[in-house]
Structure 1
Amino acid sequence: MISGVHFAIWQRYIGILAMILMTGALLSLADALIGGLGGPRGLIELVPGSRFQISGPMPPRTDTLKDVLITGQPKDGSVRLLPENIFTGYWLGGSMWRGVIEVADFAREDSVVIAVRDRFGEKQNPALVFKVQIWPDEATRNAHSPSFITRKTGLSPYIFAVTLALMGMMAAGGNFFFGHLWSRHLAAHHCGEIFRLRQTQNGVEITCELPHMDSLSPGTKGAVYRPAGEYVCPATIISSEPEGVLMLADLPEHVRLGDIVCVLPETDNDLFN
């Protein structure tokens, strides 16, 4: 076996892990987007004892909160919309109100439509109509979520997407790190990994990550090995460039991407154990 092959093994498995984690992140994000698009538009889902921050434009011809008319609230006070203050809009200016939708502890499962309007009978602004769904508890609310992840775990799919993406990036960094160690280890023993195979009239040309040296002249003999150390076939250098060494394999049908090429046989005893 080639000494230091554990670098390549770790690189491979961490690379697979990174791929799985990033795939999971993408699937979680897709679940969040599908859940958002597939769910009811503009529906506010709450449970007993909860509060929901909300805001909107002031109704026409209304300057103070005491002039705001709120309709649709249950008579038992289980669901209430409570305007708290007035502020200036961020983008287009104008008066806005800010408040909360408050659900009492004794509220039961119900659907409520609350409207904020003026006292003068002006046309209702659709942005001031709020559809509220009250669920008896968190478990029931999660069970009715359009998101598969939320239904199964009770957590937001965005949390899964961000967590898996961060873990995937860490694994990708580990993959790069072990790949760098593997390449440096091979280079120190005048060996390199095959990263390109090309069929030509003369046979299969292989390009490997051998360090550029003046001694690597055309005609120099080398050998191809599996990463585990199994001898594959001899190879001959065609040309040596800074970006890689081009060689011709004697038994091309046995050569694979990821195999190792060594050009100084006297170093084999140091490379293999």
Structure 2
Amino acid sequence: MNLDQTTRWRSLSGKVCTVIVALFFVAVMDGLIAILRHPVNLLLLLPGGSEEISGLLREEVKDFSLLQVQGGSDRVRLVFLESRKGFWLGGDMWRGKVSVDVGAEPGDYPLIVREAGGAPGKPLSVHVVRVLPDADALRKQSKSMLLKYGNVSPWFAVMVLLPLILLGFLTNYLLAHRREQLLARTGQGEIYHIVRVDEGQQVIFGMGSKHGLQPGMTVTIVDVAQAPVFTGEVEKVLEKDAMITVPLDCPVRTGYLVRVGGLFLESAGAESVVP
């Protein structure tokens, strides 16, 4: 690819990557908001489905006969699996599995866990199992806009978009590196940083001693229309970068090009400038 083609592809790649990154953050935010909006004690299940849940205990329980489950039905059941310590706070918790028979009628089924034989009072935990008739009804209950209206899980979208973002960043890097090489072959470097100081604006661009540039050489800054903006001498030169100071009122911007006049030679894979 020549310089013009590389520049166009880099611009297109940057725009596509920006759109993909925006979609990625939309999917992440949609998924997180859906989690925060969904009641922690509400289970959405289809007939024949099951899901594990947990709840707090006042103290460690080794015999689950000491716990009583109220509510539910013969088709919506809670079976205790184990008691354990909580991961974050270390309190005692129970873990169980809610199962819904294939013949369960749609509706809400409360599951209330109490201490067997205990005095009436605040239960240990309260969960509501909402049995839905089909997958479409389950999707419409979702708090995720992507899932509810687009039938796409936000976390599936995240898994698809993340590799595309990495691929986009790699493509942009390779195209930018290729463009930098093509610019250097023609004695040009792109301005990528501008610092305002008392003496003016310090313009830093991507061309240095590796490309034959030396302090004191005359360079010209051109805008996107290739019109000259400023002509002056290079003040500081590093291996791949250089700096020139322009007046404060000079309309220079990042993305403009700095050009060196003269004859350009190539040897041993490196470019050099002969003024």
TM-score by length of 2: 0.77
**Which secondary structure does the structure 1 equivalent of 2:170 belong to?**
helix
Gap change, CA 1:221 and 1:42, over 3 Å in 2: same
The answer to whether the Cα contact below 8 Å between 1:225 and 1:231 also exists between their aligned partners in 2 is yes
**Which secondary structure does the structure 2 equivalent of 1:30 belong to?**
helix
Partner residue in 2 for 1:33: 32
Where relative contact order (Cα < 8 A, 6+ residues apart) is larger, the structure is: 1
Which amino acid counterpart does residue 37 of structure 1 have in structure 2? Answer: L
Q: Larger deviation: 108-117 or 205-214?
A: 205-214
Structure 2: gaps of 5 or more residues: 266-270
Which amino acid counterpart does residue 96 of structure 2 have in structure 1? Answer: G
Aligned residues: percent identity? 20
Alignment RMSD, CA only?
3.5
Q: Larger deviation: 102-111 or 258-267?
A: 258-267
- Equivalent positions of 1:1-273 (< 5 A) are 3-57=2-56, 63-74=62-73, 77-83=74-80, 85-89=81-85, 92=90, 94=92, 96-122=93-119, 126-196=123-193, 206-212=203-209, 216-218=214-216, 220-224=217-221, 231-233=226-228, 235-242=231-238, 243-246=241-244, 256-267=253-264
**Which secondary structure does the structure 2 equivalent of 1:106 belong to?**
coil
Counterpart-to-counterpart distance in 2, 1:90 and 1:202: 63
Equivalent pairs counted in the alignment come to 259
Gap change, CA 1:90 and 1:147, over 3 Å in 2: closer
The answer to whether the Cα contact below 8 Å between 1:59 and 1:117 also exists between their aligned partners in 2 is no
The answer to whether the Cα contact below 8 Å between 1:59 and 1:68 also exists between their aligned partners in 2 is no
Shift of 1:97: 4.0
Which amino acid counterpart does residue 244 of structure 1 have in structure 2? Answer: A
Structure 1: gaps of 5 or more residues: none
Which amino acid counterpart does residue 109 of structure 1 have in structure 2? Answer: P
- Following TM superposition, the consecutive aligned residue runs of length 4 or more in structure 1 with deviations greater than 6 angstroms are 198-205
Counterpart-to-counterpart distance in 2, 1:60 and 1:224: 75
**CA deviation string 1:104-148 (max 9, x = no partner):** 112222011111223212455655321111111111111122210
The answer to whether the Cα contact below 8 Å between 1:187 and 1:211 also exists between their aligned partners in 2 is no
Shift of 1:212: 2.5
**Which secondary structure does the structure 2 equivalent of 1:267 belong to?**
strand
TM-score by length of 1: 0.77
